[in-house]
């Protein structure tokens, strides 16, 4: 940090600028959060939604949840899905970003536009297209596989949980790779070329240069991207929800997001749903804590 | 960046607080003058014909000068969720809603609808379809009235029947045989002698009931799921046989689009509500040439009488939070008027009043409708039944049966989940 910073801290402008935004954020995030905590300690069903006074039940909602083995199945599924997707997204994103540094400007521009389009497609619109591609009867994927002689006429992609999650992973990764590529590409252009060249002269191979020079340089960016990715992939909802309607067995494919939705909005048990949402909040904090700690440590270094 | 975040936060916050708005029951306008408002009516799906919509809007605006009526079309899919959120807020609630007859109990027991008991006599009284009124009545008060009914009957292809040398079946066993026979005759894996997509429990229900089974039975105040009883399992076995030997529809598909497979020449028979005929013969969306070969009959039961089929249909209700209670009652009475119900009848929907059934006509379609309705059944009238539908227990069950799963295991599983939801 450049010295001279103390002068800046005495200037009230930055603080003044941040305070209104911070207050609004605290209000906008704080209100729903407090409401959620309150709800999670109440018996709150449809009748309460339409005006009956709710009854306090203490920790009963939480007890019901954690004693239901189904919750743990969903949690395991959610964490697994999150890590696989975040990992794949990051690996593919890194690969494409690396490739981009080696492309001619025109090719790079074309791929950037392509990525941008994938990223900018509204989720529901994208889901309609993907659902058509994997449709059992009229799907493009089955049709192509049949053209190549595969036995895929009428093959259901969504009905088996594993194959369901493979399709979901494909879609989720497809939608999140562009962001990772753009961010990492920007970071890669900041890696000082002379250092890389020096390493090359010292006899470091491509892999060694990547691991020992490039990676440490872009580490802060990498951490942020990974953190965001984990948070996003934990709460993935729309993709799973629409695929379930298109043919997945709901109970075998619920992730925490869709489970909370089916408890609350569909099942009318808002109290239990709020407790499950608290659970998800804690899970997010636990899973992201190590990365946040690393980021803070890096900042201090 | 922070600024846009803050802006977004404010917008979100406004949304949140207005969604939790005040909860007083609005009445007519405070100054005692004639009520004027923009009435919002929710109708679901394409079931209500355009002619009826136009008539309702024009007549209402004529009779209530200064007020307007807007029809917002909702999708059936996800309706319970949308109503749960919108009906609890005075700002967002529509003034009149159409709700599926099996979904109504969830809202009537939760206090979401206004009490219509006092208006029943004016709206039709004993002439209203009794099963519908009964299902919407809680502790002597009625919160919703019937809108239309529609039981499904079987559409079949006359040309394919002739080619396969089969007759219209008169018993359940014959029906299953014909369905299997038609598929064999076609020699195609994706052809359906009887079209039954995997998630389609509503049409599958007929086979369950015909065998003497049920989804759940009342036991005093409590409900017991009964998919595991021997009768239910027998019915589910028939469903599985139809799935595996007669249907070419995907095990993971739903019944929302019968037109595509029918027009692709992939369907010999299918159970559908009467208004699907209009979709099939439509110049643009359907296939009038193929549709010329359509015949219809009521699904036959084991005893040769019509099989018990799911009585579909809708109720109308006035959300308790609507500030325009009086105008909403005007609209409801228009929707139950003979004129309006007559338009519905012409479109193949069974009118909400028994005396109007003759408006259906006397062709084979009307006869099939009346025969099917004569033995129609409703889903269990449990307060929480809509959550069973919402959490997709039955879609899961039927889809797994369609895949050839073990019926005893799957039924026991589904029973546990239904017990959990209902009690």
**How open is the CA angle B120-B123-B128, to the nearest 5 degrees?**
80
In this predicted structure, the answer to whether residue B5 has a pLDDT above a threshold of 50 is no
- Residue B205's alpha-carbon distances to B158, B192, B195, B328, in angstroms, are 25, 18, 14, 35
pLDDT at B137: 86
Alpha-carbon span A174 to A265, nearest angstrom: 29
pLDDT at B19: 36
pLDDT at B8: 42
CB contact under 8 A, A246 and B252: yes
Question: Quick one: which H or E segment has residue A256?
Answer: helix A256-261
Closest CB to B110 among A46, A137, A246: A46
For residues B378 and B389, the answer to whether their CB atoms sit within 8 Å is no
Q: Structure tokens of B351?
A: 């009118």
Alpha-carbon span A296 to A286, nearest angstrom: 16
pLDDT at A262: 87
**How open is the CA angle B321-B54-B80, to the nearest 5 degrees?**
35
pLDDT at A9: 58
* Of residues B322, B328, B315, the one with CA closest to residue B99: B315
Which residue of chain B has the CA closest to A248? B252
In this predicted structure, the answer to whether residue B216 has a pLDDT above a threshold of 90 is yes
pLDDT at A79: 95
B212 — pLDDT class (breaks 50, 70, 90): very high
- Which chain A residues contact residue B392 at CB under 8 A? 244, 250-251, 262
DSSP of B54-122, one letter per residue?
Answer: HHHHHHHHHHSTT-EEEEEEE-STTHHHHHHHHTT-TTT--SEEEEETTTHHHHHHHT-B---GGGHHH
Separation of first and last alpha carbons in chain B = 49
pLDDT at B245: 95
Sign of torsion over alpha carbons A245, A247, A252, A256: negative
Q: Which of residues 102-141 of B touch A (CB under 8 A)?
A: 106-107, 109-112
CB contact under 8 A, A153 and B252: no
Predicted confidence pLDDT, tens digits, chain A (301 residues): 445 455 555 788 888 899 999 999 989 999 999 999 999 999 888 888 888 888 899 899 999 899 999 999 999 999 999 999 999 999 999 999 999 999 999 999 999 999 999 889 898 899 999 999 999 888 999 999 999 988 888 888 998 999 999 999 999 999 999 999 999 999 999 899 898 889 989 888 888 998 999 999 999 899 999 999 999 999 899 999 999 988 888 889 999 999 999 888 777 789 999 999 998 999 999 999 988 888 888 777 7
ipTM: 0.76
* Residue from B4, B6, B25, B415 whose CB has the most chain A CBs within 10 Å, to mutate: B6
What is the phi/psi pair of residue B279, to 5°? -70, -35
Give the lowest-confidence range in B13-17, B35-39, B128-132.
Answer: B13-17
B2 CB near a chain A CB, below 8 Å? Answer: yes
Spatial neighbors of A235 by CB under 8 A, at least 6 apart, are: A256, A257, A280, A284
Give the lowest-confidence range in A160-169, B32-41, B276-285, B372-381.
Answer: B32-41
Q: Structure tokens of B216?
A: 């759940």
CB contact under 8 A, B13 and A247: no
CB contact under 8 A, B253 and A50: no
For residues B144 and B119, the answer to whether their CB atoms sit within 8 Å is no
Q: Structure tokens of B416?
A: 């546990």
CB contact under 8 A, A46 and B403: no
Alpha-carbon span B171 to B29, nearest angstrom: 59
CB contact under 8 A, A24 and B260: no
B386 — pLDDT class (breaks 50, 70, 90): confident
Closest CB to A31 among B16, B107, B190: B16
Distance of CA B102 to the CA centre of its chain: 7
pLDDT at A231: 92
**A273: burial class by Cβ within 10 Å (0-12, 13-18, 19+)?**
buried
CB contact under 8 A, B392 and A47: no
DSSP of B138-178, one letter per residue?
Answer: ETTEE--EEEEEEE-EEEEEHHHHHHHT-----SHHHHHHH
In this predicted structure, the answer to whether residue B25 has a pLDDT above a threshold of 50 is no
Average pLDDT in chain B? 86
In this predicted structure, the answer to whether residue B357 has a pLDDT above a threshold of 70 is yes
- Which chain B residues contact residue A32 at CB under 8 A? 16
For residues B270 and B154, the answer to whether their CB atoms sit within 8 Å is yes
Q: What count of other Cβ atoms lies within 10 Å of the Cβ of residue A205?
A: 10
Q: Where are the beta strands (DSSP E) in B152-262?
A: 153-157, 192-194, 216-219, 222-225
Instruction: Count, in order, helices (H) and strands (E) of chain B.
Output: 19, 14
Alpha-carbon span B401 to B207, nearest angstrom: 13
Q: In this prediction, what percent of chain B has a pLDDT beyond 90?
A: 55
Q: Structure tokens of B65?
A: 């000068």
pLDDT at B34: 55
B30 — pLDDT class (breaks 50, 70, 90): very low
What mean pLDDT do residues B287-308 have? 92
pLDDT at B14: 37
* Residue from B115, B248, B252 whose CB has the most chain A CBs within 10 Å, to mutate: B252
Q: What count of other Cβ atoms lies within 10 Å of the Cβ of residue B15?
A: 11
Q: Quick one: CA torsion of A105, A107, A111, A114, rounded to 10 degrees?
A: 110
**How open is the CA angle A45-A47-A52, to the nearest 5 degrees?**
110
In this predicted structure, the answer to whether residue B32 has a pLDDT above a threshold of 70 is no
Q: What is the pLDDT of residues B51-106, one digit of tens each?
A: 999 999 999 999 999 999 999 999 888 888 899 889 988 889 999 999 988 888 88
Which residue of chain A has the CA closest to B399? A249
Q: Structure tokens of A138?
A: 């009229």
Q: Which of residues 145-204 of B touch A (CB under 8 A)?
A: 189-190, 198-199
The three-class DSSP label of residue B271 is strand
The size of the A-B interface in CB pairs under 8 A is 120
Sign of torsion over alpha carbons A136, A141, A143, A149: negative
B1 CB near a chain A CB, below 8 Å? Answer: no
B136 — pLDDT class (breaks 50, 70, 90): confident
Q: Structure tokens of B342?
A: 């007559």
B2 — pLDDT class (breaks 50, 70, 90): very low
* Of residues A260, A242, A89, the one with CA closest to residue A164: A242
CB contact under 8 A, A245 and B77: yes
In this predicted structure, the answer to whether residue B17 has a pLDDT above a threshold of 50 is no
Which residue of chain B has the CA closest to A46? B110
Alpha-carbon span A76 to A234, nearest angstrom: 11
Regarding predicted confidence, which is higher, A263 or B233? B233
Q: How far is A259 from chain B (nearest CA, A)?
A: 9
pLDDT at B10: 39
Alpha-carbon span B14 to B297, nearest angstrom: 55
């Amino acid at each position: 940090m450049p010295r001279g910073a103390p002068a800046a801290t005495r200037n009230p402008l930055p603080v003044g600028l941040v305070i209104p935004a911070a207050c609004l954020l605290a209000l906008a995030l704080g209100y729903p959060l407090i409401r959620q905590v309150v709800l999670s300690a109440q018996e709150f069903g449809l009748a309460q939604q339409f005006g009956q006074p709710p009854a306090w039940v203490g920790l009963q909602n939480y007890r019901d949840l954690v004693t239901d083995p189904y919750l743990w199945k969903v949690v395991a599924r959610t964490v697994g899905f999150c890590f696989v997707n975040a990992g794949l997204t990051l690996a593919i994103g890194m690969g494409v970003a690396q490739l981009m540094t080696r492309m001619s400007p025109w090719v790079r521009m074309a791929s950037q536009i392509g990525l941008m389009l994938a990223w900018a497609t509204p989720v529901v619109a994208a889901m309609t297209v993907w659902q058509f591609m994997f449709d059992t009867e009229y799907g493009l994927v089955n049709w192509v596989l049949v053209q190549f002689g595969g036995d895929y006429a009428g093959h259901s992609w969504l009905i088996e949980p594993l194959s369901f999650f493979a399709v979901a992973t494909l879609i989720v990764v497809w939608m999140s790779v562009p962001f990772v590529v753009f961010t990492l590409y920007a970071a890669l252009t900041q890696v000082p070329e002379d250092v890389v060249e020096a390493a090359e002269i010292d006899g470091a191979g491509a892999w060694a240069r990547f691991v020992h020079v490039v990676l440490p340089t872009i580490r802060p960016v990498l951490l942020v991207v990974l953190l965001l990715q984990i948070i996003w992939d934990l709460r993935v909802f729309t993709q799973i929800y629409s695929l379930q309607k298109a043919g997945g067995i709901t109970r075998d494919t619920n992730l925490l997001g869709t489970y909370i939705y089916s408890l609350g909005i569909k099942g009318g048990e808002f109290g239990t749903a709020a407790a499950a949402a608290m659970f998800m909040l804690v899970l997010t904090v636990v899973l992201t804590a190590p990365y946040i700690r690393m980021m803070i440590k890096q900042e201090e270094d | 960046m922070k600024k846009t975040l803050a802006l977004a936060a404010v917008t979100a916050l406004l949304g949140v607080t207005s969604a939790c708005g005040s909860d007083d029951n609005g009445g007519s306008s405070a100054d005692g003058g004639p009520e004027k408002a923009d009435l919002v009516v929710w109708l679901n799906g394409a079931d209500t014909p355009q002619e009826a919509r136009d008539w309702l809007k024009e007549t209402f605006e004529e009779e209530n000068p200064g007020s307007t009526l807007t029809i917002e079309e909702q999708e059936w899919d996800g309706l319970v969720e949308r109503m749960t959120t919108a009906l609890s807020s005075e700002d967002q609630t529509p003034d009149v809603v159409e709700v599926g007859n099996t979904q109504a109990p969830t809202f009537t027991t939760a206090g979401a609808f206004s009490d219509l008991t006092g208006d029943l006599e004016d709206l039709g009284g004993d002439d209203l379809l009794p099963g519908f009124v009964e299902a919407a009545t809680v502790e002597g008060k009625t919160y919703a009235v019937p809108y239309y009914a529609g039981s499904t009957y079987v559409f079949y292809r006359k040309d394919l029947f002739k080619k396969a040398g089969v007759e219209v079946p008169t018993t359940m066993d014959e029906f299953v045989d014909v369905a299997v026979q038609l598929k064999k005759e076609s020699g195609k894996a994706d052809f359906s002698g009887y079209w039954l997509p995997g998630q389609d429990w509503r049409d599958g229900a007929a086979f369950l009931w015909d065998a003497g089974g049920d989804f759940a039975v009342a036991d005093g105040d409590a409900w017991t799921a009964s998919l595991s009883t021997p009768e239910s399992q027998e019915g589910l076995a028939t469903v599985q046989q139809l799935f595996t030997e007669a249907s070419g529809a995907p095990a993971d598909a739903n019944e929302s689009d019968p037109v595509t497979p029918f027009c692709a020449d992939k369907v010999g028979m299918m159970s559908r509500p009467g208004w699907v005929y209009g979709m099939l013969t439509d110049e643009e969306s359907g296939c009038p040439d193929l549709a010329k070969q359509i015949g219809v009959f009521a699904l036959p039961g084991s005893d040769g009488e019509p099989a018990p089929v799911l009585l579909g249909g809708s109720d109308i209700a006035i959300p308790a939070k609507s500030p325009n209670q009086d105008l909403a009652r005007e609209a409801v009475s228009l929707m139950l008027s003979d004129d309006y119900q007559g338009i519905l009848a012409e479109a193949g929907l069974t009118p909400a009043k028994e005396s109007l059934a003759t408006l259906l006509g006397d062709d084979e379609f009307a006869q099939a409708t009346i025969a099917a309705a004569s033995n129609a059944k409703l889903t269990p009238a449990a307060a929480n039944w809509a959550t069973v539908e919402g959490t997709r227990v039955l879609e899961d069950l039927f889809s797994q049966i369609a895949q050839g799963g073990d019926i005893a295991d799957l039924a026991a599983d589904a029973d546990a989940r239904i017990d959990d939801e209902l009690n």
